[in-house]
Amino acid sequence: MSTKRKSDTSNVASKKARTHTPAQALVTAILANTNAYPISNDESETRNMLVQLAQYTRILEEEVASGAGAGPSTPAPKTKEQLKEAAQKIEKTARSGIRKQMTWKPTCKEGRAKWSYDGLCSDPEVFAILLNLREPMKSKTKKMSKDEFEQCFGDLDVSVRYDTLSITGTDVNIRYDKDSGEFKFSGTYGRSGL
């Protein structure tokens, strides 16, 4: 019967942690009292301190080279399903926000009542999926046809007392700042069939 061997990575990490402790204490003590830190007359003790510092330095260099000491790592890339889920959440929220703005106004008779929706999407890939784009937007602004926009966001018609309101005009304006994640959709709406 063969026994399974444990991973060597935990042993290496614990060995590094053990070698760090005395060297870290030495560095802290020296830096706390740089001008008056006592230097031993015993050559072997001084040599031992220098070896500890050199080993500690080497370990830190290796950690930096391997990226282990680089601090928080970048998050793992999202799967296609995660991207689609995030896009669907934004789509639901945006559709609801747009529809809430579509209320009766006198300018609805001519189809020139204005609507705009501001939102936040920090991932350019999610924003591209939201708008059925092949790749993230390269420019900050884009015009999308009314029909394409409605394909992305579904039914945007709103029933009012004796009529139905819908998006009018030929295009919807899209503004997206991928650095801040802020986006804005705007357009016009009015009586259906205009």
- What confidence score (pLDDT) does residue 20 get? 60
Compare 110 and 72 and report the one with higher pLDDT: 110
- What confidence score (pLDDT) does residue 60 get? 80
Residue 99: name the closest of 91, 107, 110 by CA.
91
Q: Residue 46: pLDDT above 90?
A: no
Q: Residue 89: pLDDT above 90?
A: yes
166-184 pLDDT tens trace: 999 899 999 999 888 999 9
Identify the band that residue 87 occupies on the pLDDT scale cut at 50, 70 and 90.
Answer: very high
109-162 pLDDT tens trace: 998 999 999 999 989 999 999 999 989 988 899 999 999 999 999 888 999 888
- The length of the chain is 194
The helix or strand, by DSSP H or E, that contains position 36, with its residue range, turns out to be: none
For 120, residues 6+ apart whose C-beta sits below 8 A from its C-beta are 181, 182, 183
Q: Residue 5: pLDDT above 60?
A: no
Q: Residue 192: pLDDT above 60?
A: yes
Mean of the per-residue pLDDT values of the chain: 82
Compare 130 and 11 and report the one with higher pLDDT: 130
For 163, residues 6+ apart whose C-beta sits below 8 A from its C-beta are 104, 108, 191, 192
- What confidence score (pLDDT) does residue 165 get? 93
